[in-house]
Amino acid sequence: MAGMPRRGQTQQLAGPNAVLIPERPKRQRRVPTSTLIEVFGSVGAALATVWTVFSLSSTSAPFGFVVSCLALFFVIYGIVCWRLYGVLIMKDRLATMAIWAGALVAFAALVAVISYVVIKGFSAVFTDYPHFLVADMSDLGGNAKITNLGVGAAIVGTVEQVGIATIITVPLGILTATYLVSSNGPFARMVGAVVDAMTGAPAIIAGLFIFLLWVKPRHDSGHTGLAAGMALAVMMLPIVTRAAQEVVAIVPGSLREAALALGAPEWRVLIRVVLPTARAGLMTAVILGVARIAGETAPVLFTAGGFASYNWNPFSGQQDDLPLRIYENIFQPGVVPVQAAWGASLVLVFVVLILFLIARLLGSSKPGRRFAPWARMRSSRIVEP
């Protein structure tokens, strides 16, 4: 409408004492120097105060020192902001600092864990590189050296078992999520309750379920990579379903209505409109599922069986796995098996990281882009008049 201010402009009140009122407060992209002085000044005051108190009381508690410094910082910084800017700005600044503090704590914990694994497993992986990545554990014994061992068979088992679980889970999880979004009947509510119950189930329950249903009736031939993949799929299914449900639910309804108005059936709307639009979010759901199952030991302990040598066939015979190999090595006597377990831990971290990067690469493409070779061939055959 004419006369109405645009977004970001100001409104002018009519009258002799006209004032300009901004439509919304503008946040500065750069942190002002005054804010940095206030933050670092509060940090310095908190550190000096807590250090003085701990020194006078002869207290030695590193964790308590950090917690006390953090709590006193919020108190000092809140008082400074309150006295300088008022209550509203104080609440905003404290909330911002709380978010940053939580993010830094989580990031520090992640860096500490990964750094410790890298330090402990670096010598095992990179001594006589790349032998550790291609050899197996068939030479594991009392006189074995770290240069005689490797996790190649475990890497193959992990990739195949996680791949089987992903192949089973992704179609079922996406279809279930689509059904839960599209329906609100009694059966849909029951399915949602079952998914919630499976989300909180312990990992060992999935392993016991597949063990009793698949492994035990087949006796010695039941321990296979397929059984481990099915156990991992039981754990992965509720996570993918819930994450995919949230992603599919936020797809604009206007896209579906437009496709249906053009005469497209429901299944084509789902395949050609809904899922391509939510591709990035669905790949994130798959990433969450892979992160949940890649390091699990209990399900594969009951189903894979473990095997020191290579087994490329997940449908026949026992198969090794990185978490299972770590679990078995830490109980072996001697220093070398434990060192090999740390090396396997480092390899597991890198394998999961590579899977994340591949999934993120596939999910970062635009909805209209296609990866299928036949789709490219079909589009290349179209000749413009």
CATH number of the domain within which 220 lies: 1.10.3720.10
pLDDT at 78: 92
Residue 10 pairs in a beta bridge with 22
Which amino acid belongs to residue 38? Answer: E
Q: Which of 54, 85, 111 is the last residue of a domain?
A: 111
Mean of pLDDT values over 284-294: 85
Query: If pLDDT is split at 50, 70 and 90, which confidence band does 371 have?
Result: very low
Residue 20 pairs in a beta bridge with 12
In a domain, residue 116? The reply is no
Domain span at residue 82 reads 33-111
Listed in sequence order, the residues at least 6 apart from 347 whose beta carbon sits closer than 8 Å to its beta carbon are 121, 125, 132, 133, 151, 154, 155, 322
In a domain, residue 384? The reply is no
pLDDT at 17: 55
- Do 292 and 200 touch, CB atoms closer than 8 A? no
Mean of pLDDT values over 329-341: 86
- Please check whether residues 196 and 274 belong to one and the same domain: yes
In a domain, residue 170? The reply is yes
Domain count, the chain: 2
- Please check whether residues 362 and 276 belong to one and the same domain: yes
pLDDT at 298: 87
- Please check whether residues 162 and 211 belong to one and the same domain: yes
Mean of pLDDT values over 359-368: 61
- Do 222 and 214 touch, CB atoms closer than 8 A? yes
pLDDT at 222: 85
Q: What is the pLDDT of residues 297-308, one digit of tens each?
A: 888 988 888 888
Query: If pLDDT is split at 50, 70 and 90, which confidence band does 377 have?
Result: low
In a domain, residue 95? The reply is yes
Residue 209 in this model has a pLDDT that exceeds 80: yes
Listed in sequence order, the residues at least 6 apart from 209 whose beta carbon sits closer than 8 Å to its beta carbon are 231, 234
Q: What is the pLDDT of residues 69-103, one digit of tens each?
A: 999 999 999 999 999 888 998 999 999 999 998 99
Q: Which of 111, 131, 160 is the last residue of a domain?
A: 111
Residue 374 in this model has a pLDDT that exceeds 50: no
Q: Which of 293, 275, 286, 265 is nearest to 358 (CA)?
A: 286
Query: If pLDDT is split at 50, 70 and 90, which confidence band does 352 have?
Result: confident
CA distance linking residue 343 with residue 230, whole number of Å: 27
CA distance linking residue 269 with residue 198, whole number of Å: 29
- Please check whether residues 67 and 163 belong to one and the same domain: no
- Please check whether residues 74 and 192 belong to one and the same domain: no
> What is the pTM (predicted TM-score) of this model?
0.73
Q: Which of 255, 62, 292, 83 is nearest to 173 (CA)?
A: 292
- Please check whether residues 106 and 240 belong to one and the same domain: no
- Please check whether residues 196 and 322 belong to one and the same domain: yes
- Please check whether residues 50 and 161 belong to one and the same domain: no
In a domain, residue 21? The reply is no
